[in-house]
Amino acid sequence: MVKSQNLVPNKKELQLQAQNISLSNTLPKSSTIIQVSRNATAQNQSNAILQESNAGLCEYTNLSRVATSSVLYSQFASKIKDLKKTIVLEEKKLKQLKGNAAAQQQARKKKKEMLEEENIVKIYDAPGRPSFLINESNLFIIALSLEQQIINDVKKKYEQLNIFVKK
């Protein structure tokens, strides 16, 4: 720290003192400590944005505390406001992603238990609705017969067209 002969500290000394304040006292704490599994890509990306925003928030908070100009202070304040919004949105997004992952894991566990206990395999196109092919087991046969009928109709029309063209 720069010491001057005066008993009253000057502007530069005050700025240096403000910068030397321990970061543990001045840093805003994140509301939650988030642990993300390695293979959750969206969660990892959201967590990275959250950590970056928290770091930026800490930096801009410290800068706003030592800002001497009202213009700088207002710029820092707006940036802090934006970062706080980003943090809230990312925490909400991360919470939703974790909830979705937990629900998916629970559904997998339930399907595995059903397979082990009752030898039942359930396939769903949408949550709560069984696949259409499970409800209509003869659907494949119907589709094949329709396809064959369409092919026969096309052949007949082609033959009629050839006969008409040859005349």
Per-residue pLDDT tens over the stretch 58-103: 999 999 898 888 888 889 999 999 999 999 999 999 999 999 988 9
Same domain membership, residue 80 and residue 144: no
Domain end, chosen from 122, 139, 155, is at 122
The candidate with the shortest Cα–Cα distance to 54, out of 26, 89, 28, is: 28
Q: How far apart are CA 49 and CA 90, in angstroms?
A: 7
Question: Within this chain, do residues 92 and 150 fall inside the same structural domain, yes or no?
Answer: no
**Distance from C-alpha of 69 to C-alpha of 11, rounded to nearest angstrom:** 12
Query: Do residues 61 and 110 both lie within one domain?
Result: yes
Identify whether residues 75 and 62 lie together within a single domain: yes
Residues 108 and 33 in one domain: yes
Q: Is the pLDDT of residue 131 over 80?
A: no
Q: Range of 144's domain?
A: 127-167
Out of 5-9, 96-100, 120-124, 139-143, pick the least confident: 5-9
Cβ 99 vs Cβ 110: under 8 Å:
no
Backbone angles phi, psi at 8, to 5 degrees: -90, 125
How many domains is the chain partitioned into structurally? 2
Task: Please state the pTM of the whole predicted model.
Answer: 0.51
Same domain, 85 and 162: no
